[in-house]
């Protein structure tokens, strides 16, 4: 079992990113390794280029994302942690796979349509080709499992199609078909101001999201001011139907405490938000405070982060080289 996943270097990581993605990676690191498998995680900085980003921001975001992953529990001694750019085989294999993928397949990708919007002619070729690079990211390592969010499942299916077509066209079982792992446990965290929208860095309201760099005071304040209703908590999760804000806060509590939402509702049954919110704020500060402090310590030590990425890339390059070479041989580029 080899688990491979990537995350784009977006800045300003928030509680949704942490509970929905990063925390799942950490859990997987432990589970997969206990079962004798390997975990590889990378910062998809090349994917970061597909929509305009200022160079200094891209670089800072890559560093920040690395610090966040390490602070949250990705252990660079146990997982291979790197950024795409330092492993040129990603780009090289992507070019080879560009000749296997079909235009008709890419035309069906919903994320491209969403991101390109109305101005499709003006979208970058990189944005269009993004899923082929993503296929290269995982096929390069013969990944067996790829943890992704729901929105990336279609890209993973494309990676499987590309792998299967390559194997068939060249009559050689070179690539492993990767399985997407869409975690059922990964919660979807909603905005603290409007529980019908997901918590997102693109939400203009500062109060709608908890950032991983927020101080303890800011975290507590944002939870205190989170939108709720005047009713106390009921005695079952089902009874929260129709109370989206309340459900969201209970979901956050449960995810932070590694408990089920039902269990959390049972504990607070009959209590109002005047009691629940301070308990949630304390829990969040206890869980997120240490991550923020460790992140800040790492960010003050750029050399250490650089060393982590350099070492990770070295290991990744060693694993990538035989697959790239085999693909080049198979296609007749090298004898
Ligand atoms: P954003 O919406 O803030 O731009 P991204 O699209 O960059 O976030 O998502 C990065 C990762 O975090 C993805 O794996 C995504 O599934 C996860 N994620 C983002 N927002 C949430 C959320 N509100 N709840 C759960 N997971 C989330
Ligand atoms: N496209 C993914 C996202 O936006 C990030 C990503 C890039 C990725 N390459 C990958 C995820 C390979 C899994 C495997 O979330």
Pairing of strands 145-147, 179-181: parallel
95: its two tokens: 């070019």
The reply to whether ligand 1 has any atom less than 6 angstroms from the CB of 198 is: yes
Cβ-contact 252, 15 below 8 angstroms: yes
DSSP type of residue 198: B
The reply to whether ligand 1 has any atom less than 6 angstroms from the CB of 10 is: yes
Q: What pLDDT is stored for residue 150 in this prediction?
A: 87
Residue from 152, 158, 162 to probe ligand 2 pocket by mutation (most atoms less than 8 Å from CB): 152
- Answer whether residue 149 shows pLDDT above 90: no
Cβ-contact 195, 248 below 8 angstroms: yes
- Answer whether residue 315 shows pLDDT above 90: yes
User: What pTM does this model have?
Assistant: 0.94
Query: In the structure, what pLDDT confidence band is assigned to residue 183 with cuts at 50, 70 and 90?
Result: confident
> Mean pLDDT across the chain, nearest whole number?
96
66: its two tokens: 């690395």
CA–CA distance from 8 to each of 33, 42, 43, 64 (Å)?
A: 24, 9, 6, 11
pLDDT digits (tens, 9 = 90+) for 100-115: 999 999 999 999 999 9
| More confidently predicted of 92 and 204 | 92
What is the position in ligand 2's atom list of the atom closest to the CA of 155? 1
- Answer whether residue 182 shows pLDDT above 90: no
- Answer whether residue 12 shows pLDDT above 90: no
DSSP type of residue 180: E
Residue nearest to ligand 2 atom 3, measured at CA: 7
Q: What pLDDT is stored for residue 186 in this prediction?
A: 85
Backbone Cα Rg of the chain: 21
The whole-number average pLDDT for the span 28-56 is 96
The reply to whether ligand 2 has any atom less than 6 angstroms from the CB of 134 is: yes
Query: In the structure, what pLDDT confidence band is assigned to residue 289 with cuts at 50, 70 and 90?
Result: very high
The reply to whether ligand 1 has any atom less than 6 angstroms from the CB of 199 is: yes
Cβ-contact 281, 219 below 8 angstroms: yes
- Answer whether residue 146 shows pLDDT above 90: yes
Residue nearest to ligand 1 atom 5, measured at CA: 17
Q: How far is the CA of 156 from the centre of ligand 2 (A)?
A: 9
Query: In the structure, what pLDDT confidence band is assigned to residue 276 with cuts at 50, 70 and 90?
Result: very high
Q: What whole-number distance in Å separates Cα of residue 9 and Cα of residue 6?
A: 9
115 is catalytic: yes
Q: What pLDDT is stored for residue 132 in this prediction?
A: 98
């Amino acid at each position: 079992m080899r688990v491979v996943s990537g995350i784009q270097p977006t800045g300003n990581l928030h509680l949704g990113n942490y509970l929905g993605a990063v925390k799942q990676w950490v859990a997987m690191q432990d589970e997969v390794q206990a079962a004798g498998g390997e975990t590889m995680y990378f910062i998809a900085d090349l994917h970061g280029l597909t929509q305009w980003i200022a160079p200094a921001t891209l670089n800072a975001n890559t560093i920040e994302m690395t610090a966040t992953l390490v602070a949250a529990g990705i252990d660079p001694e146990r997982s291979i942690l790197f950024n795409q750019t330092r492993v040129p085989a990603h780009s090289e294999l992507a070019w080879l796979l560009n000749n296997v993928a079909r235009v008709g397949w890419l035309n069906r990708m919903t994320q491209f349509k969403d991101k390109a919007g109305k101005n499709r002619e003006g979208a970058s070729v990189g944005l269009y080709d993004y899923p082929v690079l993503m296929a290269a990211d995982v096929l390069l390592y013969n990944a067996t499992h790829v943890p992704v969010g729901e929105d990336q499942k279609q890209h993973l299916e494309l990676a499987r199609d590309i792998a299967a077509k390559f194997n068939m066209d060249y009559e050689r079982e070179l690539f492993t078909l990767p399985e997407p792992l869409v975690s059922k446990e990964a919660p979807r965290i909603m905005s603290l101001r409007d529980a019908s929208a997901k918590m997102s860095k693109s939400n203009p309201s500062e109060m709608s999201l908890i950032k991983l760099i927020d101080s303890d005071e800011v975290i507590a304040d944002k939870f205190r001011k989170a939108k709720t209703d005047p009713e106390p908590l009921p005695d079952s999760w089902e009874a929260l139907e129709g109370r989206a804000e309340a459900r969201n806060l209970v979901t956050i509590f449960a995810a932070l405490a590694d408990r089920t939402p039902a269990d959390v509702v049972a504990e607070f049954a009959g209590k109002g938000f005047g009691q629940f919110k301070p308990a949630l704020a304390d829990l969040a500060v206890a869980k997120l405070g240490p991550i923020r402090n460790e992140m800040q310590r790492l960010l003050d030590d750029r050399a250490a982060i650089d060393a982590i990425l350099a070492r990770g890339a070295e290991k990744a390059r060693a694993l990538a080289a035989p697959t790239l070479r085999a693909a080049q041989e198979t296609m007749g580029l090298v004898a």
